[in-house]
Chain A
Amino acid sequence: NAGVTQTPKFQVLKTGQSMTLQCAQDMNHNSMYWYRQDPGMGLRLIYYSASEGTTDKGEVPNGYNVSRLNKREFSLRLESAAPSQTSVYFCASSDANGDTQYFGPGTRLTVL
């Protein structure tokens, strides 16, 4: 089992460019999450999906969109990147209650 995988591992964008971060899990989990992590701060939830076909906003959704493509895949899109979106992005999945989450290796994004 690969667990949770994310692509790409690193990305540099210019302000205004768009990109999609990909995430997939093979643990048959219903719930999936996108977090961002900034220095000195914990993980902040951007969006989550409780099941295939549903998505909902987290604490910091502005500037992002998501798609739950199927049970395995949950993508995060930046339509017009801004320097404030420079961060490390983690995807995670969990069973129904969400207390035990499994994280992907992260995407390190720099927006110039």
Chain B
Amino acid sequence: GQSLEQPSEVTAVEGAIVQINCTYQTSGFYGLSWYQQHDGGAPTFLSYNALDGLEETGRFSSFLSRSDSYGYLLLQELQMKDSASYFCAVRPRGWGKLQFGAGTQVVVTP
């Protein structure tokens, strides 16, 4: 089976750094993806880690450690527009389709 765990909510001030952890139980998967969803909007792809290590895309970075069954999304220099829900997802081998975590709501305050 497959389950992904993320914190339900994180609050931080503008300019701060937020780390959203994603832990999972799996017998094998292709990679770890992250999606962003604003209230009332559609999920949009943010990043993908096929291999262990850090991937950086502007203010956002994503990390994967298969040996620790753990990944995270790092949001730097937080802006008000970063207030949204963030979902981690994996594509398990044998199933092949994305399975999503329940999501972390990030609230950015002035």
> What B residues does A59 contact at CB under 8 A?
99
A-facing mask of B95-106, CB < 8 A → 1, else 0?
011111111000
Do A99 and B43 touch (CB < 8 A)? no
Interface size for A (C-beta < 8 A) is 22
Total A-B pairs, Cβ < 8 A: 54
Do B91 and A40 touch (CB < 8 A)? no
Q: Decide yes or no whether A12 CB sits under 8 A from chain B.
A: no
Neighbour of A105 across the interface among B31, B41, B91, CB < 8 A: B41
| Distance in angstroms between the alpha carbons of A98 and B89 in the assembled complex | 11
Q: Which one of A58, A97, A99, A104 has the greatest number of beta carbons of chain B within 10 Å?
A: A99
Rounded to whole Å, the gap between the CB of A43 and the closest CB of chain B is 5
| Distance in angstroms between the alpha carbons of A103 and B41 in the assembled complex | 10
Neighbour of A99 across the interface among B8, B31, B87, CB < 8 A: B31
> What A residues does B102 contact at CB under 8 A?
40-42
The residue on A at minimum CB distance from B102 is A42
> What B residues does A41 contact at CB under 8 A?
102-103
Q: Decide yes or no whether A100 CB sits under 8 A from chain B.
A: yes
Interface residues of A in 24-82 (CB under 8 A from B): 33, 40-45, 48, 58-59
> What B residues does A98 contact at CB under 8 A?
91, 96-98
